Structure 1
């Protein structure tokens, strides 16, 4: 195991002994906000092109065309939100099942990705982040339960983020809560997670 992950494991030990830390474990997403969002993933439109066309239409005083482009941008924005929520749902499904292969496929590849597990230091770099999930999952049985509340999604261009309250329960434990921010980047038409930050919340 790498030195960086080994340090994380040592610093996180008290966390794993704390029942609240159980919220690290994968969970069963029950939020209504995640239902029916997978269809948005098939939408790959160029927002920058639409913005440029809108500007041209305004400059040419073609206001009917500008209004149509604005409507297209509004639809694109809403569909992008659905796509980000779908990616967030897939993240929690992999989390709930402890599925490392699925988790690996969801993350952007690179040294600039970052993961902050509750009660632990931040971990940067794709390989280190994946190793951290292996460490987290070592002591738990799957599947786990999770409920997401107060889910909010924001998208601008090729970047989007989801904030929510995450409640996780393992066998024989009570619910643990975290406030979570998941940041996504659209790469080649696919929304990939690049930052996961979870902070413990007293219930």
Structure 2
């Protein structure tokens, strides 16, 4: 497969713009201290290097690694996933999910679709005063939402949908609020704290055309108590580029009955 050759995100420093750093008084980066990766910079593996600038850590936990390795395209979200609508949603069984590409289990996208379908049918049944049917649908909806693996997969699908569409507002709503959240973009060190994490998404998305092409493979989900995580392979392609491949780990925590992402860690792998 042809190696990806999509360019660096910026050719001039922009890290000090207010939209990236919400608390400029706490984070002061001199643009002269940023080493930018040129558009023609290709790694030893033939893949273009990661598109974020390399800046030293200064006054915050924003740590862009100066030792970036050659990386594939950044960016995830879910595209090309098969959705299955239940013809009888009220008979929906508890989801036992290990791989999203498996035809025998529900995917995160399918769970989202089923949830929305159930909600619509519930409103229709109530409007038609068919309360027996409404009760069945309500029970199925509750079963789906109480299934921890299904709920984590649905949260994972929402994360990738926001990524695919470049929807910053949706991304902001999906993350836990706090200093404990962390994102590791391919090729750079971790960025911690809600405001800085959100700023990094805005920065990364600045020069891309949406929606992105994204396929997710080898999805596995694990849940224990109020913490769950998803591992997957992200196949990502931006306009005019070839496919990039990343291994991603997404960690979710349950807060007041709702699952929020608190860690996203993506690293490139060879095609």
TM-score of Structure 1 vs Structure 2, range by shorter chain: 0.7 to 0.9
Aligned length, in residue pairs: 170
C-alpha change, 1:120 and 1:12, in structure 2 (3 Å) is farther
Match of 1:36 among 103, 107, 110: 110
CA distance in 2, matches of 1:171, 1:159: 35
Tell me the secondary structure at the aligned position of residue 15 of structure 1.
coil
C-alpha change, 1:172 and 1:181, in structure 2 (3 Å) is same
Tell me the secondary structure at the aligned position of residue 248 of structure 2.
strand
2:188 paired with 1:114? no
2:238 paired with 1:199? no
CA distance in 2, matches of 1:134, 1:86: 23
C-alpha change, 1:130 and 1:77, in structure 2 (3 Å) is closer
Higher helix share: 1
Match of 1:23 among 49, 52, 74: 74
Q: Which residue of 2 aligns with 1:163?
A: 231
Tell me the secondary structure at the aligned position of residue 240 of structure 2.
coil
8 Å CA contact 2:214–2:235 kept in 1: the answer is yes
Q: Which residue of 1 aligns with 2:252?
A: 184
What does 1:29-108 align with in structure 2 at a 5 Å threshold?
A: 30=81, 32=101, 33-38=107-112, 79-108=147-176
* Structure 2: segments with no counterpart, 5+ residues: 1-16, 22-26, 38-48, 53-68, 82-99, 102-106, 119-142
CA distance in 1, matches of 2:150, 2:227: 13
8 Å CA contact 1:149–1:166 kept in 2: the answer is yes
8 Å CA contact 1:40–1:83 kept in 2: the answer is no
* Structure 1: segments with no counterpart, 5+ residues: 43-74
C-alpha change, 1:29 and 1:137, in structure 2 (3 Å) is farther
8 Å CA contact 1:113–1:195 kept in 2: the answer is yes
- Residue 26 of structure 1: CA displacement? 4.7
CA distance in 2, matches of 1:140, 1:199: 20
Task: Tell me: higher relative CO, structure 1 or 2? Use CA pairs within 8 A at least 6 residues apart.
Answer: 1
Match of 1:131 among 196, 199, 209: 199
